[in-house]
Amino acid sequence: MTGALRVVARCQVADDVLAVTLADPHGDRLPPWTPGAHLDLLLPTGLVRQYSLCGDRWDGHHYRIAVLRVIDGRGGSAWIHDHLREGDVLPFGGPRNHFPMAPSTRYLFVAGGIGITPLLPMIDQAVRSERPWRLLYGGRRRTSMAFLDRLEALGGQVEVAAQDEVGVPDVAAWLGAPDPGATVYGCGPAGLLDATAAACAQWRPQALRTERFVAEVQDRAEDHPFTVVLRRSGTRLRIDPGTSVLDGLRDAGVAVLTSCRQGTCGTCEVAVLDGLPDHRDSVLDAVDREAGDSMMVCVSRARTDSLTLDL
Amino acid sequence: MTTLRSDAAAVPSIDLDPYAPEHLVDRTAFLTAVRETAPLVHLGAHDVFATGRFDVVREVLANWQQFQVGAGVGLANFHTEVPWRPPATPTEADPPAHDAPRRVLTDVLGARTLRRLRETWQAEADELVDRVLAGGGEVDAMADLASAFPLKVFPDAVGLPPDRRDDLLAYGDLVFNAFGPRNALFERSAARLGELSGWITSLCARENLDPAGFGAQIWAASDREDITAEQAPLVVRSLLSAGIDTTVHGIAWILHAFATHPEEWDRLRAAPELARRAFDEAVRWASPLQVVFHTTAEPVELAGVRLGKHRKIMLLLGAANHDPRRWEDPGRFTLDRDPSGHLGFGMGLHQCVGQHVARMEAEVLLTALARRVRRLEPAAPPRRGVNNTLQVWETLPLRLTK
Q: What's the pLDDT tens digit per position in A237-282?
A: 999 998 999 999 999 999 899 999 999 999 999 999 999 999 999 9
A281 touching B, CB under 8 A?
Answer: no
| Chain A residue numbers touching B97 (CB-CB < 8 A) | 103, 129
pLDDT for the residue numbered A1: 46
Provide mean pLDDT across the span A36-51: 91
Distances from the Cα of B133 to the Cαs of A256, B119, B126, B266, B372, in angstroms? 32, 21, 11, 18, 9
Residue A70 in this model has a pLDDT that exceeds 90: no
Closest CA to B323 of B22, B54, B21: B54
pLDDT for the residue numbered B52: 98
HEC-encoded secondary structure of chain A? CCCEEEEEEEEEEECCEEEEEEECCCCCCCCCCCCCCEEEEECCCCCEEEEECCCCCCCCCEEEEEEECCCCCCCHHHHHHHHCCCCCEEEEEEEECCCCCCCCCEEEEEEEHHHHHHHHHHHHHHHHCCCCEEEEEEECCHHHCCCHHHHHCCCCCEEEEEHHHHCCCCHHHHHCCCCCCEEEEEEECHHHHHHHHHHCCCCCHHHEEEEECCCCCCCCCCCCCEEEEECCCCCEEEECCCCCHHHHHHHCCCCCCCCCCCCCCCCCEEEEEECCEECCCCCCCHHHHHHCCEEECCCCEECCCEEEECC
Lowest mean pLDDT segment, chosen from A3-7, A42-46, A60-64, B231-235: A42-46
Residue B26 pLDDT level (bands cut at 50, 70, 90): very high
Mean pLDDT score across all residues of chain B: 95
Q: What's the pLDDT tens digit per position in B135-164?
A: 999 999 999 999 999 999 999 999 999 999
Of A59, A129, A255, the CB nearest to B96: A129
Among chain A residues, the shortest Cα distance to B279 is held by: A257
In the three-class reduction of DSSP (H, G, I as helix; E, B as strand; rest coil), residue B230 is classed as coil
Residue B62 in this model has a pLDDT that exceeds 80: yes
Q: What's the pLDDT tens digit per position in B340-370?
A: 999 999 999 999 999 999 999 999 999 999 9
pLDDT for the residue numbered B6: 55
Distances from the Cα of A256 to the Cαs of A262, A269, B397, in angstroms? 14, 9, 33
Among chain A residues, the shortest Cα distance to B341 is held by: A259
A97 touching B, CB under 8 A?
Answer: yes
Q: What's the pLDDT tens digit per position in B297-334?
A: 999 999 999 999 999 999 999 999 999 999 999 999 99
Q: Shortest Cα distance from B228 to chain A (angstroms)?
A: 7
**CB-based burial of residue A214 (10 Å sphere; 0-12 exposed, 13-18 middle, 19+ buried)?**
exposed
Pick the more confident residue, A126 or B84: A126
| Chain A residue numbers touching B283 (CB-CB < 8 A) | none
Provide mean pLDDT across the span A199-228: 81
CB contact under 8 A, B231 and A101: no
Report the complex ipTM.
0.93
pLDDT for the residue numbered A2: 67
CB contact under 8 A, B226 and A288: no
Residue A61 in this model has a pLDDT that exceeds 70: yes
Residue A86 in this model has a pLDDT that exceeds 60: yes
